[in-house]
Amino acid sequence: MENMKERKLKILNAIIKDYILNAEPIGSRTIAKKYNLGVSAATIRNEMSDLEEMGLLIQPHTSAGRIPSEKAYRLYVDQLMTVQKLDIELEQSIRNSYKQYVEQIEKSVQLTAKLLAQLTSYTSLVMAPEIKSLNYKLVQLLPIQDERIVMVIITKENIVKNLEVKLPYKLDQGELNKLTNILNYIITDYDINKVGDDLNSHLHELSIKENEALQELIGILQELTLSPDDGNQVFATGVTNMLKYPEFNDIDKVKQFLEVFQDQRIISELLKSYSNGVNIIIGEENSLSEFKDYSLLTATYQFNGESLGTIGVVGPIRMNYDKVVSVLKFLTERLNEQINQQ
């Protein structure tokens, strides 16, 4: 592959770009007319024959033209692709969109999913932050009825979680305030998962029922941060975008694609399986069998250098990779800014 002639690469590049745009097999005459490659249709035809032998082009049985193989797309994204730069006005518009959600990380994540689907015309997948990787900033306990309370948790990344909890005993607001103060002291000065050694000095202030309630609340906070079984919420946006592509003329294929989004755990595990930076997974390279007819691009967003979640785009294998990479990188950078500016 490294010794492939420049002419073959130019022809392959033209075929891939044309097929991404038109979804139609292309022949040597069309390439010669549409693209100024400086060679005849006969020469292009010979080169295309070589490219087919190399596994980079495929001839559909119903057409005399050729289409790129998955191997060709891999070569394209690794060697030929030039990432587009977004329009300056569009970049500014995106920046302005994020400004309305300062210190609102979950809404910023949802905005990212929406923008990613709108700007790429594919399906976006954005994984909500993993709470186990976050640091608590504030806890507030509020009574509901009898033994039931709401525990409001705010992280340093300004993620807000409201949990309904049933305590062993009914506590009034004064008692809940006492527990709130102790919990906030603990999470401010200590790791919630190491509070046992530092808790004794506070226990003498509590009654038996307050003590039991505190132990239960600490257990809940620890479970939130340590439980490996909590699947991350995934915001899937623009799923119906895929229906406009000819790859989705098969109704069974549509049903299979839509069904996979019903199981957020599967999608979450898929997104978490890829490393930092931009990852491009093409067709059969996908570990999820339902995605083997599509391409998936992912990137991670971070807080203080630690990965919080993953952003992804799913589209047909003939995806406009250079545009998607550009959009994905820019939105990831904006989301990282949004999270880390506090």
Give the tens place of pLDDT for each residue, 211-224: 888 888 888 887 76
The closest of 73, 132, 109, 106 to 297, measured between CA atoms, is 73
Nearest to 225 by CA among 150, 148, 139: 139
pLDDT at 103 over 80: no
Residues 5, 102: Cα–Cα separation, whole Å: 51
Shared-domain flag, residues 143 and 28: no
pTM of the model: 0.75
CATH number assigned to the domain comprising residue 17: 1.10.10.10
Residues 328, 242: one domain?
Answer: yes
Segment 7-29 shows an average pLDDT of 95
In a domain, 1, yes or no: no
| Mean pLDDT to the nearest integer, 322-342 | 90
Same domain (yes/no): 291, 174: no
Q: 311: closest CA among 283, 282, 272?
A: 272
Domain range for residue 205? 132-226
Instruction: Indicate whether 282 and 204 sit together in one domain.
Output: no
Is 305 found in the same domain as 316? yes
Both 41 and 167 in one domain: the answer is no
314 and 302 belong to one structural domain: yes
What is the CATH classification number for the domain harbouring 174? 3.30.390.60
What mean pLDDT comes out for the span 250-278? 82
Name the band, by pLDDT with cuts 50, 70 and 90, for residue 96. Answer: very high
pLDDT of residue 3: 46
| Dist. CA 264–CA 232, nearest whole Å | 8
For residue 307, the domain's CATH number is 3.30.450.40
- Please give the average per-residue pLDDT across 19-44, as a whole number: 93
- The candidate with the shortest Cα–Cα distance to 77, out of 24, 124, 17, is 17
Same domain, 246 and 322: yes
Quote the number of domains for the chain.
3
Q: What is the mean pLDDT of the chain?
A: 85
Mean pLDDT check: name the lowest of 162-171, 194-203, 211-220, 280-289.
194-203
Q: Within a domain: residue 138? A: yes
Q: Residue 141 forms beta bridges with which residues?
A: 151
Q: Are residues 97 and 195 in the same domain?
A: no
Residues 198, 147 share a domain: yes
238 shares its domain with 334: yes
Question: Taking phi first (over 0 means left), then psi (-120 to 50 degrees means alpha), and beta for anything else, what does residue 163 get?
Answer: beta
Both 203 and 322 in one domain: the answer is no
